[in-house]
Structure 1
Amino acid sequence: MISRQANARVPALAISGLTGGYSQRRPVLHDLSITVYPGELVGLIGLNGAGKSTAIKHILGLMVPQKGEVRVAGVTLEENREVYRSSTAYVPEQPTLYPNLTVKEHLRWTAMAYHLEEAPALATIGELAETFRMTDALNALPDTLSKGMKQKVMLMNALLVRPALLIIDEPFLGLDPLAIRGLVTALDEVRAQGSAILLSSHILSALDRKADRLVVLHKGNRIAWGTPQEVKLQAGFEDAKATLDDAFEALVSSAEGGHSRG
């Protein structure tokens, strides 16, 4: 596994000219480029069907690019599969857990899979359990947990690893307000330690406050890119009070009219 203190000069994620999808004749993504550096949180936003999930599948190596390339921690999947795989952690929108493993056993299994030292890993597990108010559930099986609690387990496993690149899909769905606050705090901590985060969410207000940069996708095309303020400017809003929701609506309306921005 690569060092957690990633070289800030090497992007944690570099997508260059990616065209891809399920069919050669009808690609979902069109010449997509995204760069995420260590310590950054980049928000991935778009309507349902915009290509967010397809982009994530390409990053995870579940789909092969038709054109372009995807690099994680400086390498492609073909160049160094071990480094590529060990440098990413993914939290899907729908939590998936092993029915016969307790919460703590899930976390210990993750620690072993990523070759984490036992004592520090156990200490981090305890800290994460407190952050997400899951201490009393460490010995529980998944069938006894609510969807929100299952989502917490997925997040705890990913945060335990502190990979070079953490990919999270709709992390705020199903979480209570205290868990959301705990998640934001935990994400700040892993960013401070050098992890990069690609976060896909429809909760634009959270990304407006926390994201370093945003990628706005529409029908597989990048229609805006930059800081939240830069995205608002690209949407035609110079007023500091303009919301990211307003900017997103304007960008999509413009793209639908055939006048793509960015």
Structure 2
Amino acid sequence: MKTVLRVEQLSGGYSPKRAIIHDLDFEIKAGEMIGLIGVNGAGKSTTIKHILGLMTPHQGSIRINEKTLNDDVEQYRSGYTYVPETPILFEELTVEEHLRLTAMAYGVPEQQYLQQSEQLLERFHMVKKRKALTAHLSKGMKQKVMIMSALLAKPSLFIIDEPFLGLDPLAIRSLLQELMEVKQNGSAILMSSHILSTIEHYCDRFIMLDQGRIVAQGALEDMLEHANRQGHSVAHLEDAFYALLNGGEA
């Protein structure tokens, strides 16, 4: 199976003298959804910023479709789409214009754009808001616009940071359904989330960070076994999370 994202011996931070993440090693293959988990300050956002090319590593390498940012900037950046925790939109553009802009940026054919944009607007219950300026939308609706734009682009890699914040239950269900389809079509997904009880059922593997280091990674069974080997009896990802990061104390 093709490796979409490869991170090797990655260390880095905001200051050249002080690393926040240390010696990270992981990869994501086509058709995989990986959950990036950890407490606030564990290094999740810093890891994502390095993958996005917003920060320069102190050491190590990051490859998307076997290309580094230095190899080919355009090809590297076109290989992923990013949904941030806080929506970032052009307030003077409408919902529909954001989708159109995304289609132009990623070279989505016109017929494909028309079909997919209609499907996304319907699935996320945004048909009535298609002509609305994003400045007038709620945070949850703005997040829907970010998510729809990412899904429209259909890159090799989706990077999604806390996607459930601000979404209503129907939107969360729609997002998860779309992500399952994305997986089946061969894209890779890296998703950071604190909603462990939800992602437990959807992610293929997990990467747990603590103080900038990977303390556990693998499928759900691996995470549970890791916690059980340390003397804890756990049956769910959330239990393993508490056990591994808090010594078993909730």
Normalised TM-score (structure 1):
0.91
Q: Is the CA contact (8 Å cut-off) linking 2:228 and 2:234 kept in structure 1?
A: no
- In the other structure, the counterpart of 2:64 is 72
Which one-letter code corresponds to 2:52 in the other structure? L
Distance 2:88 2:56 in 1: 24
- Structure 1: gaps spanning 5 or more residues: 1-7, 256-262
Displacement after TM superposition at 1:254 (Å): 4.2
Query: In the TM superposition, what are the counterparts of 1:140-155 in structure 2 within 5 Å?
Result: 140-155=132-147
Q: Is 2:142 the partner of 1:160? A: no
Displacement after TM superposition at 1:190 (Å): 1.0
Q: Is the CA contact (8 Å cut-off) linking 2:12 and 2:59 kept in structure 1?
A: yes
Q: Is the CA contact (8 Å cut-off) linking 2:227 and 2:233 kept in structure 1?
A: no
- In the other structure, the counterpart of 1:63 is 55
Which one-letter code corresponds to 2:121 in the other structure? A
Of the three residues 236, 239, 248, the one matched with 1:246 is: 239
Distance change (3 Å), C-alpha of 1:239 and 1:48: closer
- In the other structure, the counterpart of 1:258 is none
Query: In the TM superposition, what are the counterparts of 1:201-240 in structure 2 within 5 Å?
Result: 201-236=193-228
Q: Is 2:94 the partner of 1:94? A: no
Q: Is the CA contact (8 Å cut-off) linking 2:37 and 2:192 kept in structure 1?
A: yes
Of the three residues 190, 194, 205, the one matched with 1:198 is: 190
3-state SS, counterpart of residue 9 of structure 2: strand
- In the other structure, the counterpart of 2:44 is 52
Which one-letter code corresponds to 1:51 in the other structure? G
3-state SS, counterpart of residue 68 of structure 1: strand
Q: How many residues align?
A: 248
Which one-letter code corresponds to 1:221 in the other structure? R
Counting aligned pairs with the same residue, the percent is: 51
- Structure 2: gaps spanning 5 or more residues: none
Deviates more, 1:232-241 or 1:107-116: 232-241
Displacement after TM superposition at 1:241 (Å): 6.7
Which one-letter code corresponds to 1:247 in the other structure? A
Displacement after TM superposition at 1:242 (Å): 1.3
Which one-letter code corresponds to 1:228 in the other structure? L
- In the other structure, the counterpart of 1:173 is 165
Normalised TM-score (structure 2):
0.95
Displacement after TM superposition at 1:124 (Å): 0.3
3-state SS, counterpart of residue 154 of structure 1: helix
Of the three residues 104, 108, 113, the one matched with 1:116 is: 108
Provide the aligned C-alpha RMSD in A.
1.7
